[in-house]
Amino acid sequence: MKLYLITLFLFATSWATAQNKIGLFDAHGDVGAVKNHGFASYNAKDQTYTIGGSGTNMWGDHDEFHFLWTTLQGDFILRAEVSFMGSGVNEHRKAGWIIKNDLAGNTPQVNAAVHGDGLTSLQYRKTTDGETDEVKSPDTMPQVIQLERRGGKFIMSTAQFGKELQVVELTDVSLDKEVYVGLYVCSHDPEIVETAVFRNVRIVKPVEEGWTAYKDYIGSHLEVMDVETGSRQILYSSAHSIQAPNWTIDGEDLIYNSKGRLYKYHLEDNSISLLNTGFATNNNNDHVLTFDGQEIGISHHAEENKGASTIYHLPVKGDSTPQRVTKLGLGASYFHGWSPDKKFMLFTGERKGQFDLYKVEVSSGKETQLTNYKTLDDGSEYSPDGKYIFFNSARSGRMQLYRMDADGKNQTQLTFDEYNDWFPHISPDKKWIVFISFPKDIDPGDHPFYKHCLLRLMPYEGGEPKVIGYIYGGQGTMNVPSWSPDSKKIAFVTNSDF
């Protein structure tokens, strides 16, 4: 009886946090007969998790580790960036994501493991008390580790931060629909506790099969990122579709759109207020502030233009009647950028049976065509000095980034890879271009919702892009200029079904 009570006490202590959420997770505790108890904590300020775990191994017919978990059903995507603390004692210490049917140490599981020596593998146990096996990745020493369940398939994607993801898959393991998922650490030495820190942790419920674009939506996270470090913070989560945040020139607010209206997110106190755009209540995600921050241009689907996207502008404080810029009856116009002197607005225009780039004189509505290709040109934006216009074009067969002179001359390609690159945004200090890269297998003329995408960064003069963000998003993530005024951060939107 005494041994039973001690065991019961240890079990209750180990899982005592079950009633207290730890960030995204429900609880934490040791799995298996560990000699030294582990721990887990959450830093709400930087949204990081620190986990200490002991345990003999994550192999053979049973596992021993410390587990920070929640419960999920169906398909999901788990993503985090992991770093071990210290040089470690055993080179086989492990950290990563694990999916389990229950909290026992000998039951079926799939886990994405990063070892202390850099080995990266998708490990799995098919049956209770069965032996563990693995699919090794060619990747070594990754910081980014993603584990996805898609139907009967488990997909591990890893990368050293800044690089492209490398993928391995597993198809012959069956786990329950309802599972425990979470982060873990195993020391591979029962005498010690090893520690790892996890940042940019995301648990994503993807869109369901059979959804209809622009009719069915899932939820959104409004995020900001420190561009130098890649560290991200979720500011606000909504069950609605929110899209395309601008950063105001004073650095105090983010302006985003949702359900046809514009909203301000105030960074100091996390409050949200409506930006009054008068009659323009059917706005899409093409809204851009002037370089001096005084005016905002919008694309409103105007009844007077048979519902076609039409360009207007108004003071950024709102509460004024929007002034129409593009003329009626010419076709759809999707706004993307202001000239620094506020005399011209750039837009993608549906004219002559194709979509090309135009600039329009604000005072007169006179349009000047800048590109002329049957394939799509989009995402135009002036450089801060007004000398160049950056844009994306599918003229090469892929959607790639380009630069041209402000008069449309000297159109020069900037990216040359297999991704589909959209929406180049120039940092205020004119040092960087940030953009979103859609998957290689989509139509180059499409920028869909709800895909695995990359946020990438390249020098203003051109050069090799590097990855700064691994996201689930796409349309609405970063359609508009989103740099902070000091060129240190960007704002963007990611998605998950809440």
Last residue of a domain, one of 204, 230, 264: 204
Are 107 and 235 members of one domain? no
Residue 8 vs residues 1, 27, 494: alpha-carbon distances, Å? 10, 17, 42
Instruction: Give the per-residue pLDDT at 88.
Output: 85
Neighbours of 448 (CB within 10 A): 14
Are 145 and 249 members of one domain? no
407 vs 392: CA distance, rounded Å: 16
Instruction: Please indicate, yes or no, if residue 455 is contained in any of the structural domains.
Output: yes
Give the mean model confidence (pLDDT) for residues 73-93.
Answer: 95
What percent of the chain has pLDDT above 90?
Answer: 95
Phi-psi region of 179 (alpha: psi -120 to 50; beta: other; left: phi over 0): beta
Taking alpha carbons only, the member of 104, 139, 159, 147 closest to residue 123 is 147
Are 320 and 348 members of one domain? yes
The answer to whether residue 2 scores a pLDDT higher than 80 is no
Instruction: Give the per-residue pLDDT at 19.
Output: 52
99, 111 Cβ separation under 8 angstroms: yes
On average, the pLDDT of the chain sits at 95
229 vs 161: CA distance, rounded Å: 10
Are 99 and 196 members of one domain? yes
Are 185 and 244 members of one domain? no
Q: What is the per-residue pLDDT across 235-260, written as a single tens digit (0 to 9) for each?
A: 999 999 999 999 999 999 999 999 99
The answer to whether residue 15 scores a pLDDT higher than 90 is no
Are 294 and 180 members of one domain? no
Are 258 and 178 members of one domain? no
Read off the CATH number of the domain in which 362 is found.
2.120.10.30
| pLDDT band at residue 5 using 50, 70 and 90 as cut-offs | very low
| pLDDT band at residue 18 using 50, 70 and 90 as cut-offs | very low
Instruction: Please indicate, yes or no, if residue 362 is contained in any of the structural domains.
Output: yes
33 vs 35: CA distance, rounded Å: 6
Give the mean model confidence (pLDDT) for residues 302-326.
Answer: 96
Output the six-digit token pair for 20. Answer: 């207290």
427, 483 Cβ separation under 8 angstroms: yes
Contacts of residue 407, defined as CB under 8 A and 6 or more positions apart, other chains included, come to: 370
- Give backbone dihedrals phi and psi of 129, rounded to 5 degrees, phi first: 65, 10
Q: Which residue has the higher pLDDT, 156 or 6?
A: 156
Last residue of a domain, one of 180, 204, 228: 204
The answer to whether residue 431 scores a pLDDT higher than 50 is yes
Instruction: Please indicate, yes or no, if residue 214 is contained in any of the structural domains.
Output: no
User: Domains in the chain: how many in total?
Assistant: 2
Give the mean model confidence (pLDDT) for residues 80-93.
Answer: 94
Are 236 and 200 members of one domain? no
Are 157 and 44 members of one domain? yes
105, 116 Cβ separation under 8 angstroms: no
18, 28 Cβ separation under 8 angstroms: no
Are 134 and 236 members of one domain? no
Task: Give the burial string for 277-299 (b: 16+ CB within 10 Å, else e).
Answer: beebebbbbbbbbbbeeebbbbb
Q: Of the given ranges (6-20, 204-218, 309-323, 325-339), which has the lowest mean pLDDT? A: 6-20
Read off the CATH number of the domain in which 151 is found.
2.60.120.200
Output the six-digit token pair for 485. Answer: 């005024």
Instruction: Please indicate, yes or no, if residue 409 is contained in any of the structural domains.
Output: yes
The answer to whether residue 3 scores a pLDDT higher than 70 is no
Instruction: Give the per-residue pLDDT at 282.
Output: 98
Instruction: Please indicate, yes or no, if residue 211 is contained in any of the structural domains.
Output: no
Are 118 and 228 members of one domain? no
Full residue range of the structural domain in which residue 189 is found: 17-204
Last residue of a domain, one of 204, 234, 256: 204
68 vs 39: CA distance, rounded Å: 9
Give the mean model confidence (pLDDT) for residues 331-349.
Answer: 98
Output the six-digit token pair for 52. Answer: 């200490």
The answer to whether residue 20 scores a pLDDT higher than 90 is no
Instruction: Please indicate, yes or no, if residue 6 is contained in any of the structural domains.
Output: no
Neighbours of 467 (CB within 10 A): 19
Output the six-digit token pair for 68. Answer: 């920070």
Instruction: Please indicate, yes or no, if residue 137 is contained in any of the structural domains.
Output: yes
DSSP state letter for 151: T
- pTM for this one? 0.94
The answer to whether residue 16 scores a pLDDT higher than 50 is no
The answer to whether residue 4 scores a pLDDT higher than 90 is no
Give the mean model confidence (pLDDT) for residues 378-392.
Answer: 98
The answer to whether residue 348 scores a pLDDT higher than 90 is yes
Instruction: Please indicate, yes or no, if residue 212 is contained in any of the structural domains.
Output: no
Q: What is the per-residue pLDDT across 394-424, written as a single tens digit (0 to 9) for each?
A: 999 999 999 999 999 999 999 999 999 999 9
Are 271 and 415 members of one domain? yes
439, 417 Cβ separation under 8 angstroms: no
